[in-house]
Structure 1
Amino acid sequence: MDGRDGEERVIRIASWERRLGAWLIDIILVGVLVDLIVGMTGPLTPVVPWLPPGPAFQWGFSDGALVLFAYWTVLEGTRGQSLGKMAMSLKVTDMKGEKIDLPRAAIESFGKAFLLPLDCLIGWIAMRGSGQRLFNRLSETIVVHVNESAPEGVRYVRRG
């Protein structure tokens, strides 16, 4: 059911295992990209004037974390999916299963880019069974499993 005409909408909350898989894919892909760029150009931090080098980076504001934050914010705020989420058939939505915007994506992404252990721990303890991290709750988002099947009344065939 899709929620139109007063019908109940069924949304499948993504498992922590699938979310971990998507996160690992993203970390590997972005990590390789950042390593390539840093290897060719040097550290990225001088191009971020509002973030001074030094002690700030001890709190998790590294080149990789900044790139991951931007990566997740843009892809999830425009498409609802990072490459890892696409590979794992997951999507970030609002609480009704609808598309999120860039501000919500930025809030949701901040926790996993800079504070992931704390973000997850608070979610697991304080919001047990919700499938949300702290920053999912703050951004009013959820991660859902995307149904890859054809819409009702449609059948896909291959030529040949």
Structure 2
Amino acid sequence: MSIWFSISYLSSNCHLWLLLVLALVHLCLSDQKSRDALCMEGERQALIRFKHGLIDEADRLASWAGKKSDCCKCDGIVCDNITGHVHEIHLPGPGPPGEYDDPSSKEIKERLKQRLGGHLSSSLLELKQLKYLDLSCNDFKRIQIPSFIGSLGALRP
């Protein structure tokens, strides 16, 4: 009787393990499918409005184009893998020219062209879960930081 119990117990455990493995495979595949189109439409629209306020001579934000673009796959954007909310925007410009760099050199002109300018759109307020915003080393012509930035309550140092 103990041998029958052992075989029955092992058999049922094998079925449970098989079921668990199949469930994990299904979860991984469905998670990958959800990552294929993760961007939330309202946040995508907010990022597009933000982009329209910027001057982008070097076309750094070209990946943000298109009516069906997934903002989570756009350059500089980091989304939560589960919810699809935009959590981070990384758009630093190139560092300033060195003290001894020739400001008329082609390389320096190209670096300066890489900097974003324009104005910061309040559409960022629609990114309710935005935790990180890096626009350092860009050229916003010494504008004051807009007051709405203080309303981005999820931003963290």
Same-fold call, TM > 0.5?
no
Scaled by the length of structure 2, the TM-score of the pair is 0.22
The structure with the largest alpha-carbon Rg is 2
Q: TM-score, normalised by structure 1?
A: 0.22
Structure having the higher helix fraction is 1
